[in-house]
Amino acid sequence: MLQGGVKTIEWTNEGVRLIDQRILPGREEYFVCRNSEEVAMAIREMVVRGAPAIGVTAAMGIALGMKQSAAATLEEWQKDFARIADLLAATRPTAVNLFWAIGRMRERFEQWIASGAGREQIAQQLIAEAQHILEEDIAACRAMGDFGASLVPAGQTVMTICNAGALATAGYGTALGVIRSAVREGKGVDVLSLETRPFLQGARLTAWELQKDGIPTTLITDNMAGHFLRTGLNSRKIGCVVVGADRIAANGDTANKIGTYGVAVLARENNVPFYVAAPLSTIDLNIASGEQIPIEQRAEREVAEIQGVRIAPEGIAIQNPAFDMTPHRYIAAIITERGIAQPPYTESLARLKQAPVR
Ligand code: MRU
C-alpha cells in the first residue's frame, strides 16, 4: 500500500496516540499522551517529529488540554488555553508548522468564545478542528506528491535526507509523498536514503517506511552523498534530490534537517536538480530570508552517543544544530499542495500562499 500504511498520529478516547519514533524500527509501539504536558514532552523528545506531524500533534495537545481543564470560570479556561499554547510552542523552535497550528487553534478558539458558544461545545469544536488539520495535512501531502511526481525522471534514483514521509506528517509524506506518487505513476524510481546523523531518521525511519511499502531503497551514510551524486548508483543516474522542510522563508531559503545544505551544494556541483516539498503551512512569509530562521540546538549526548552508547571522549566540546539553512539559489523548485513554485520565490511563494484552494 503506497500510503505509508501507518497511523502516525491519532485522536483516541484515551488521549493522543503516536507511533513511538524513538524506538523504530526495532519496536513498533504506540505512545499515548494522556494530557497536554505529555504531548509537549512527546514533541520535545521526538516521539513524534517532522514539521507537519509536530503541528498536528500540537493542535491535538491543545484540544486535549482544554477538554481536561478544571478551570472554574470562562476566564480561567481562557488562561488555560494561553498556558497550554505556550507550553507547546516552547518545545521545538524551527518547524513553523508548530506555530501555524497553534495560531490556527487560537484563532478559532477566540472566534467561538466571541460567538458566545458554550464551553462543552467549544471543547468539542477544538477536537474537530485538530482532526481537520490532520485530514488537511494528508490531503496536502497527496496533492504535493502528485504535483512533484512530474519533476521526477523515470528510471532514475531519487536521493533524500532525514524522514519527510508518512511518519513526519499525518500520512503519505512530503518528499516521500513525491516518491510514492512517482512510483504509483510507474516511473520505476528507486531511493537513496541518507542515514541522517545524529537521530538517524534516514536509517531508522525512511528505510523502514519505504521498505514497508516495497519501494526499492538503498541506505548510505551522510558522507557518501557526494560520491553517489557524482557516480550514480548501480549505473543509474541520481535523477534528483527531494527533501522536506521545517521552515521556508519568503525568498525560498529553506531550513531542513542538518546536512541538507551540504547535499544541495553537492547536487549543484553535479548538475542534479534539488527540490523541496512542503505544505504551505511550512512557508513563513513573515521571515524575509533564511538568516532569520531560528535553528534548534539539541543535547550534546545525541552526538556523543549512538543509541545510548558513548562514542566520543568525555569532556570534548560538541555542537548539535538540528537543522541547517539552504539558500534559495540551490533550490530548483518548491513543491506545494497548490502547485510548484519556481524562482523568483519571493513572487511565486506569495502567489501560491494566497491562491484559492483548487
Ligand atoms: O528533527 P526532525 O526529525 O523533526 O526533522 C525533520 C526534518 O527535518 C524534515 O525533513 C522536515 O520536518 C520535513 S517533514 C515532512
What tens digit of pLDDT does each residue of 207-225 get? 999 999 999 999 999 999 9
Q: What percent of the chain shows pLDDT beyond 90?
A: 96
Per-residue confidence band for 5, with pLDDT thresholds at 50, 70 and 90: low
Spatial contact of 275 and 241, defined as CB atoms under 8 Å apart: yes
- Going from the Cα of 161 to the center of ligand 1, the distance in angstroms, rounded, reads 9
- Rounded Cα distance between 335 and 317, Å, is 38
Catalytic residue among 246, 253, 284, 324: 246
Return d(Cα 94, Cα 176) in angstroms, integer: 21
Residue 275 CA: distances (Å) to CA of 85, 175, 254, 326: 33, 9, 11, 11
The ranges of the chain annotated as CATH 3.40.50.10470 are 150-354
Find the mean pLDDT for residues 6-19. Answer: 95
CB of 162 shorter than 6 A to ligand 1: yes
Check if the beta carbon of residue 256 is closer than 8 Å to that of residue 324. Answer: yes
Pair 62, 126: CB distance under 8 Å: yes
CATH numeric code, 9-141? 1.20.120.420
343 phi-psi bin (left φ>0, alpha ψ -120 to 50, beta other)? beta
**Do 228 and 234 meet the contact criterion of CB atoms below 8 Å apart?**
no
- What's the rounded mean pLDDT across residues 105-133? 97
State the cell numbers at 30: 504506540
User: Cβ(245) to ligand 1 under 6 A?
Assistant: yes
pLDDT in tens, 307-336: 889 999 999 999 999 999 999 999 999 999
**Other CB atoms within 10 Å distance of the CB of residue 287:** 19
Is pLDDT at 357 greater than 80 in this prediction? no
Name the closest-CA residue to atom 8, ligand 1.
257
Which ligand 1 atom is at minimum distance from the Cα of 161? 10
Q: How far apart are CA 159 and CA 263, in angstroms?
A: 9
End-to-end CA distance of the chain: 26
- Does pLDDT of 1 surpass 50? no
Check pocket membership of 204 for ligand 1, CB cut-off 6 A.
Answer: no
Please give the CATH number for the structural domain made up of 150-354.
3.40.50.10470
Which residue among 18, 46, 49, 195 is best mutated to probe the pocket of ligand 1, counting the most ligand atoms within 8 A of its Cβ?
49
Specify the ligand 1 atom closest to the Cα of 257. 8
The boundaries of every CATH 1.20.120.420 domain in the chain are: 9-141
Report the distance separating Cα 111 and Cα 233, nearest Å.
54
* Ligand 1 nearest atom to the CA of residue 173, by list position: 15
Q: Is 20 a catalytic residue?
A: no
Asked if residue 55 lies in contact with residue 95, where contact means CB atoms within 8 angstroms, the answer is yes
**Probe residue for ligand 1, chosen from 54, 97, 246, 247 as the CB with the greatest number of ligand atoms within 8 Å:** 246
* 125: pLDDT strictly greater than 60: yes
Atom of ligand 1 nearest to the CA of 51: 12
Q: 76 alpha carbon to ligand 1 midpoint, in Å?
A: 35
Q: Is the CB of 160 under 6 A from ligand 1?
A: no
Mean pLDDT computed over 345-353: 97
Does residue 306 carry a pLDDT above 80? yes
